Structure 1
Amino acid sequence: MKKSILLIIVLCLSVTVFSQKKEKTIVTINGKTTTVSEFKRVYEKNLDAIDDVEAKDVTKNLELFINYKLKVKQAYDIKLDTMVSYKREMATYRNQLSAPYLKDTTFLDQLVKDAYFRTINEVKAKHILIRMPRGAVPKDTLLAYNKILEIRNRILKEGDFEAVAVEVSEDKSAKGDLKSGRKGNKGNLGYFNAFRMVYPFETAAYNTKVGEISMPFKSQFGYHILKVDDIRASKGEIEAAHILILDTTSVGKTKIDEVYSKLEKKESFKTLAKEYSGDPGSKNKGGNLGVFGSGRMVKSFDDVVFGLTEENTYSKPFKTRFGWHIVKLLKKHSVKSFEEMKSKLTQKVKKSSRMQLSEKAVIKKLTADYTITEHEEAKKILNIKNLRAIPKDSLQNTILSINNKNITQEVFIKFIRNRRHLPVFVLFETFKENEILSYYKENLIYTEPEYAHTLKEYEDGLLLFELMQQKIWNKSSNDSIGLREYFTKNSKKYTSKKLNTIKGEVMNDYQNFLEKEWIADLRRKSKIKIEKRQLKKLIKHYQTK
């Protein structure tokens, strides 16, 4: 029965919220009209999915539609739309449904194309970082920017990027660690491609010409400059396995040579990895490291593994800072075409931080379209040290206006109440962007007809489901007396005389009975007028199609 009502919900979707004064009316229910085009939209939406000729009957579909509208009206009459659970579910669905409208699809397409270029081409770069304190204020930002700019100018004069990186970079890897004996990388990051670095860093690297030094740019870590040393076609990805001896001394060398000797005698690489390897992540998988591209491993490892040209060949023992290795090339994966990678790249872009740029593009467009006013007098509360403690009664002035919508200081304070990781002036900008998007979402039903249709369908369908739960499903399950009375009155149609043996079948019939009585009662209490002339035209229209 539940499946049946859900089918009816799908077939009898609610009508558009946009009135069309010149449209012909097909039916009037309790004074509320449904136009021909509105009903056609409901009817045609699922027409192609129906094979049964009888189920396509226009008159029957109109009757189902009327029943649907009568039920939905009752749901609103008894205020099911005020339930907390309903409001919560609708808020979740509204956010999901509006999400695509908050993305700039043109911008997304370009991000995907950029990601592909940056996948099939690897860039080699070195960088210098000047960090900023958490919750940096404009003064901190300016100091960091000026400092990195001075460093850039110094390198342009002196010409030794690596020496300056060792001296001033606040990325600890540039200097190394004397205690552990780890050498510094002098700012060198090796080759990398898309999604390997934070997006601002990746973009700066690919937008800087080989041999040049970028202008300062900001990431979540602070301000950077970088120098691009090379750009080359990607080597693709490989699948490899290794055996690691966790000892960088001569003892470890003796051990790895012993393993290599066994390999040369045709012993299994997998077996030897499980027996000797000290890498807990790959040991039990026969040393398998999975699929990876260049730049994912330390440079000394990368050089050896990507230097293997034939599948199922292995290297001689070599040393990294982790110990002694033997690596085996299992499989090469060449770079795929854009069409082959488009779907995967699109998903990666959507999940990455760069997708925020698409939302920013929408906000920028909306900012240009809307009349947005920041009320400076009300904004003075941003200068109050303990502004979160200001009494509610003192926060009723308008701090921001978007078209005809006024937002009070109270709303802003509520927004920042548990956000203390950023300065107040930064939080205000985030608040403003959130309010712009909220205003846009609130008005989507007026600007995006398809969104309005779909949202209304879900609202009514969810209410009807709850109403059916109360009127039919719960009643048939809990009303044992009514069920038995129905069974007794209709016992001739059943093969068994014992209710318990065919309870499921009887309950389904009882639900149908309850629904028919309910619909009959709704129709008795309602005024329904079908425009027969328009109905005949519709029937003729679909017969000739």
Structure 2
Amino acid sequence: MKFKILFASLFLSLAVYSQKDSAILFKIDNKPVFVSDFKRVYEKNLDIVSDKDQKAVESYLDLFINYQLKVKEAYSLKLDTVKTYKSEINSYKNQLAKPYLQDSTFIKKLIKDAYQRTKHMLNASHILVKVSPNATPKDTLKAYAKILNAVKEIKNGTSFANVALKYSEDPSVKSNFGNLGNFTAFKMVYSFEKAAYNTKVGELSTPFRTQFGYHIVTVHSKKPSPGEVKIAHIFINKNTIKGKEKIDTVYNQLKLGVAFEKLVKKYSQDRNTIANGGLLPKFGIGRMPTSIEDEAFALKNVNDFSKPFQTRFGWHVIKLIEKYPITSFEKMEKELAKKVKASGGNRLSDLAMKQKLRKKYNTKIYQPAKKVFYQQQIRSAKRDTLTKTLLTIEQKKISQQQFFDFIRNRRHLPIDVLFEDFVDQEVLSYFKENLIHTQPSYAETLKEYQEGLLVFDFMQQKVWNKSVKDSLGLQQFFKANKSTYKFTDLSKNKGTVMNDYQTYLENELIQDLRKKYKVTIRKRTLKKLIKHYKTNG
């Protein structure tokens, strides 16, 4: 696969368009090949062609004609209809289309928004009423009514904590009364983060939905973010008097100047960090237990260490390794872009793209045809009875049968949810199908990859595989050209002879193709092309 891609990519290039480039350079039978076709390949490959003769336009044109003859013959042999070829082209199409399916403007906005949120940390509480993303309308309405009742009680004066205990379905509510502590960007799912940062301090948000259900949030404080820190720690896992005595011993030795790393090896019971001096990955607000975060961010200077402190895990002493304050957007942009994509930014961009395409295309849903799918046993229906048009996207018709195939093995989701997913899929499919008409660079790259792959398969069939399998032909070739070699033993030098045999077979193949197809070069156009490259270096 990798070699095929490399072989095909030798003929990929940037598109260059002008009035002259649209001129016909030569024809193979009645099929025209344009100046633009030649220029794309020639200019792309100039730097990788070492032979000076081949860099000459006339010499390279000869190679290019041979290449186009192979393409012509490959189509004649219907190699483009072979299952493996079609599968590989479909896979490449999907890969090639990916950049066009991302809403780059939307992604840039997400990155800038993330920077602004990274600069501040929130302390907030929430109430959650669980409801599945694929819940029925009835269950969704029930959950929404419950969250509205919670809002009503808070507005009537009941404390948020008491309302959280009564209504929230977050398992941690019994211990934290809905308080989530401090957090910054990327610590919550995006929809929650967005709602929390859009809520002013002391105010209550309107109900909003995430993948977990409906929420309301109240923000207690909004402060500048301290950024991130890297620390090392010594950990004693016994919350006992003996544990306290041991951690005090550690602390006293640190004060006497004993190296932190030496004490880690002697006392720390965190097996994962003993080997690296107690070092922990860098972290920001909302990643560690609050007591560890408080102690870490309170340390001012590198190599400062804390007094012993206790968490539910045991006793700790920590040392500051490095601080990572919030810097400029330009310095943080690359890291933020990675985090945005890792936290679902691409998925959100996909969603934005789908919404944009739905608005762009004239999409019509035929409700009577759709109504059929609300029947209880619809997945058991006979496919050939579903012949009506269900959906049109511009002039493209999508039948009931296509949606029937889509839902057949998707039994866990309601029809309404499945239909929306189906429409999104068809809209994206229509967009991808039309990229060859709307994006010239996509069309050229795809065409050249298709041809490159065809030539690869053609050469494999007619030259490479033949040279490997035709042992008699190889022996006869060696015998006929024995005088050109310094050795007499074919078995010990088979690789060298086989390379020459492949060249021989390819030359024979080209001669046959030149006889089979008529090549007509437009000499005036070629003369102008040669002059163009001489003038422009």
Q: TM-score range by the shorter chain?
A: over 0.9
In structure 2, do the counterparts of structure 1 residues 471 and 336 end up closer, same or farther at CA, with 3 Å as the change threshold?
Answer: farther
RMSD: 2.7
Query: Which residue of the other structure, out of 519, 534, 537, is the alignment partner of 1:543?
Result: 534
Change (3 A) 1:31 1:156: same
Aligned to 2:122: 123
Instruction: Tell me if the contact between 1:119 and 1:194 (Cα under 8 Å) persists in the aligned partners.
Output: yes
1:108 aligns with 107
SS at match of 1:289: coil
Partner deviation per Cα, 1:52-108 (whole Å, 9 max, x = no partner): 543321112221111111111222222222222212211111111111111111111
**C-alpha distance after superposition, 1:92-151 (max 9, x if no partner):** 111111111111111111111112222232222211111115741112222222221221
Match of 1:145 in 2: 144
Query: Which range is displaced more, 203-212 or 484-493?
Result: 484-493
**Pairwise mapping of residues 295-314 of structure 1 onto structure 2 (< 5 A)?**
295-314=286-305
Match of 1:461 in 2: 452
User: How far off its partner does 1:372 sit?
Assistant: 1.0
- 1:395 and 2:394 aligned: no
Amino acid at match of 1:522: L
Contact 2:236-2:268 within 8 A present in 1 as well: yes
Match of 1:380 among 364, 371, 377: 371
Partners of 2:133 and 2:213 within 8 A in 1:
no
Provide the TM-score with structure 1 as the length reference.
Answer: 0.91
User: In the alignment, residue 371 of structure 1 is paired with which amino acid?
Assistant: N
Map residues 171-210 of structure 1 onto 2, 5 A cutoff.
Answer: 171-175=170-174, 184-210=175-201
Q: Percent of aligned positions with the same letter in both sequences?
A: 51
Correspondence for 2:77: 78
Q: Measure, in 2, the Cα distance between the counterparts of 1:421 and 1:154.
A: 36
In the other structure, the counterpart of 1:277 is 268
The residue number in structure 1 matching 2:207 is 216
1:526 and 2:517 are equivalent in the alignment: yes
Encode CA deviations 1:310-352: one digit per residue, 9 max, x unaligned. 1112211111122221112112223232222222322332333
Map 1:25-104 onto structure 2 (within 5 A): 25-47=24-46, 53-104=52-103
| Superposed displacement of residue 300, structure 1 | 1.3
Deviations 1:139-169 (Å, cap 9, x if unpaired)?
2222222221221232233162223223321
- 5 Å-filtered alignment, 1:226-375, equals 226-375=217-366
Determine helix, strand or coil for the equivalent of 2:172. Answer: helix
**Distance in 1 between residues matched to 2:369 and 2:444, nearest whole Å:** 39
My pick for the range that moved more, 222-231 or 431-440, is 222-231
Q: For 1:494-544, what per-residue CA distance to the aligned partner results, in whole angstroms no more than 9, with x for missing partners?
A: 222222343322221111111111111111111110011110111111111
Q: Distance in 2 between matches of 1:412 and 1:210?
A: 48
CA drift at 1:6 = 8.4
| Contact 1:253–1:324 under 8 Å retained in 2 | yes
Q: Structure 1 pair 36/319, CA: closer, same or farther in 2 (3 Å)?
A: same
Structure-2 residue corresponding to 1:502: 493
Q: Give me the whole-angstrom Cα distance separating, in 2, the residues matched to 1:231 and 1:15.
A: 49
| Aligned AA (2:131) | M
8 A contact 2:124–2:218 mirrored in 1 = yes
The whole-number CA distance in structure 1 between the counterparts of 2:271 and 2:198 is: 39
1:190/1:55 CA distance change after superposition, 3 Å: farther
Question: Following TM superposition, by how much is the alpha carbon of 1:260 offset from its aligned partner in structure 2, in angstroms?
Answer: 2.7
Q: The residue matched to 2:303 in structure 1 has which SS?
A: coil
Give the superposition deviation at 1:196: 1.1
Pick closer, same or farther for the CA change 1:100–1:248 going to 2, 3 Å.
same
C-alpha change, 1:189 and 1:140, in structure 2 (3 Å) is same
| Alpha-carbon distance in 2 for matches of 1:46, 1:339 | 36
Residue 429 of structure 2 is aligned to residue 430 of structure 1: no
- Alpha-carbon separation, structure 1, partners of 2:53 and 2:211: 62
85-94 vs 244-253, which deviates more? Answer: 244-253
Residue 513 (structure 1) aligned with residue 512 (structure 2)? no
Instruction: Return the letter of the residue paired with 2:80.
Output: D
Q: Partner letter of residue 96 of structure 1?
A: Q
Contact 1:282/1:288 (CA < 8 Å) preserved in 2?
yes
Pairwise CA distance, 1:31: 0.7
Q: How many residues align structurally?
A: 535
1:169 paired residue number: 168
Rounded Cα–Cα distance in structure 2 between residues aligned with 1:282 and 1:331: 17
SS of alignment partner, residue 344 of structure 2: coil
Equivalent-residue separation in structure 2 for 1:6 and 1:214 (angstroms): 52
Which stretches in structure 2 are left out of the alignment for 5+ residues?
Answer: none
Is 1:404 the counterpart of 2:366? The answer is no
- Cα–Cα, structure 1 residues 172 and 5, in superposed 2: closer, same or farther, change >3 Å? closer
Q: Could you report, residue by residue, the CA deviation over 1:12-61 in whole angstroms, capped at 9, with x for unpaired residues?
A: 55999x9x999432101011012223333332333455575433211122
1:448 counterpart residue number: 439
Structure 1 residues 4 and 87, CA, compared in 2 at 3 Å: closer, same or farther?
A: closer
Pairing 1:470–2:461 present: yes
Q: Structure 2 length as normaliser, TM-score?
A: 0.93
More moved, 505-514 vs 197-206: 505-514
